[in-house]
Amino acid sequence: MTTIHVEQTPHLAYLLRLADTALVNAHRLSEWCGHAPILEEDLALANIALDLLGQARLLYEHAGAVEGKGRSEDDFAYLRDAPQFKNFLIAELPKGDFAFTIVRQTLLSAFFYPFWQQARGSSDRTLAAIAGKAEKEVAYHLRHAGAWLVRLGDGTEESRRRTVEALETLWPYTGELFEVDAVGEAMIDAGIAPDPATIRPVFEESVDRLLAEAGLERPVAGWMQTGGLRGIHTEHLGHMLAVMQHLQRAYPGAVW
Amino acid sequence: MAEQPMPLWEVFIRSRTGLAHRHVGSVHAADAEMALQAARDTYTRRGEGLSIWVVPSAVITASDPQDKDALFEPTASKIYRHPSFYRIPEEVGHM
């Protein structure tokens, strides 16, 4: 099946960014299924993945309605190539070890919890409704990932070493969460999107609190990664999409 | 580094329709907070729960299966202890 091309209005572009981040994050978490350190955590990570997949589905569905060309959530998920995905880069990095996954989920949840809280006041009524659902889900993700972060940081020598490494690797990807380009600016002006500048202090406060409890230090903010919002990705996203999209590309329209 | 097995916790859930917490199974977790989260993720995936208790399995004192006859057999002949001889008015509800 041929790749679809989406003409992007700012509103559509913005919704696809949110949906792409949720979907890519969900897929990375789903890779733990059957591989987590303990059965209980296998279920916990799958639960978080399913919450995010649910958010992605609602956001794609809404994007389809905004575009008005009859495209479904599956069209957006399965029939676009890597440069058309506009997710935050932090979501697409390979799942790494357990510490890496936990640090990533903590950082993303610490951002998206206040994000969805604020998005409940969006002038886009559908987005506001999705935010109401997502806020409760992400509150738990933050609690779960945060509790692990504290225990890994304050655990054994090995768990601490792995957590510090993950934190050092992932921190340069947090700058992108607060990027505002022309699309973001238009959405903030229209009252559709929260201003990331107002989310940053809440993000930093909750990350700092968890790091302090874990006995870890926030890495020094230096050069930050960028590109996801423009479709410029790490080499990892293409490989991930190859796995995720293979079935629909090989057998177009296949259903259960 | 030698790995230490994580403690076992017994999980009790009060369901939407239930009156009391019921034992549903067990989870492994390093401490109480993580046990509660593991119980939530393992046993309330289908909207089963309104409240969760976790208890370290090690603190539960259990009866010895070998004592079965001495403990439970004597009640078998005392059918008058069953409230089945009385009619309970509907207004009373759960007893």
Distance CA A10, CA A13 (A): 5
Chain A contact set for B6 (CB, 8 A): 38
Contact assessment for residue A101 and residue A37, using Cβ atoms and an 8 Å cutoff: no
Is the CB of A144 less than 8 angstroms away from the CB of B37?
A: yes
Question: Where are the alpha helices (H) located in chain A, listed in sequence order?
Answer: 10-30, 39-67, 73-78, 89-92, 98-119, 125-153, 157-170, 182-189, 196-214, 236-250
Structure confidence at residue A178 as a pLDDT band (50, 70, 90) = very high
Q: Distance between CA A133 and CA A140 in Å, rounded?
A: 12
What is the spatial distance between Cα B30 and Cα A121, in angstroms, rounded to a whole number? 39
What pLDDT is recorded for position B92? 82
Q: What percent of chain A has pLDDT over 70?
A: 99
Task: Please judge whether B42 and A43 are an interchain contact, meaning their C-beta atoms are less than 8 angstroms apart.
Answer: yes
Which residues of chain B neighbour A143 with C-beta distances below 8 Å? 37
Number of Cβ within 10 Å of residue A183's Cβ equals 21
- At residue A66, the pLDDT reads 97
Reply yes or no on whether the pLDDT at B80 is more than 90.
Answer: no
Do B33 and A147 count as a contact with CB atoms less than 8 A apart? yes
CB contact under 8 A, B45 and A158: no
Residue B1 has its nearest CB partner, among A147, A148, A158, at A158
- Distance CA(A219)–CA(B3), nearest Å, equals 29
Q: Is A47 within 8 Å of B37 when comparing Cβ atoms?
A: no
pLDDT at position B77 over 90: no
- Which residue is closest to A140 within chain B, CA to CA? B37
The minimal CB distance from A44 to the residues B1, B28, B41 is found for B41
Contacts of A154 in chain B (CB under 8 A): none
A32 to chain B, closest Cα gap in Å: 15
With 60 as the cut, is the pLDDT of residue B89 above it?
yes
Element holding A216 (H helix, E strand): none
CB A44 within 8 A of CB A53: no
Torsional sign, CA A239, A62, A57, B37: positive
* Cβ pair B6, B28 in contact under 8 A: yes
- Extract the tokens encoding A91: 């979501």
* Mean predicted lDDT score pLDDT of chain B: 88
Determine the residue of chain A that is closest to B8 in CA distance.
A40
Closest CA to A138 of A26, A251, A14: A26
B38 to A44: CB separation less than 8 angstroms, yes or no: yes
pLDDT in tens, B40-68: 999 998 887 889 999 999 999 999 999 98
Check if A42 contacts B (Cβ < 8 Å). no
Residue among A29, A33, A40 with most chain B CBs within 10 A, to mutate:
A40
Model pLDDT, residue B2: 59
Dist. CA A180–CA B62, nearest whole Å: 61
- In the block, tokens 């610490």 appear at A110
Query: What contacts A239, CB < 8 A, 6 or more positions away?
Result: none
Judged against a pLDDT cut of 90, whether residue A14 lies above it is answered with yes
Q: Exposure of B55 by Cβ count < 10 A (0-12 exposed, 13-18 middle, 19+ buried)?
A: middle
Q: What is the pLDDT of residue A61?
A: 98
**Of A40, A144, A158, Cβ closest to residue B28:** A40
Q: In this model, does residue A107 exceed pLDDT 90?
A: yes
How close does chain A come to B27, measured CA to CA in Å? Answer: 7
Using the Cβ of A136 and the Cβ atoms of chain B, whether some distance falls under 8 Å is answered with: no
In the predicted structure, residue A1 carries a pLDDT above the cut 70: no
Across-strand partners of B12?
Answer: B23, B53
Q: What is the pTM of this model?
A: 0.91
Strand, coil or helix: B53: strand
* Helix/strand/coil (H/E/C) assignment for every residue in A141-203: HHHHHHHHHHHHHCCCHHHHHHHHHHHHHHHHHCHHHHCCCHHHHHHHHCCCCCCHHHHHHHH
CB contact set of A223 (below 8 Å; sequence gap of 6+): A172
DSSP annotation of A233: -
> Does position A204 have pLDDT exceeding 90, yes or no?
yes
Going across the sheet that includes B22-28, the strands are: B22-28, B8-15, B49-56
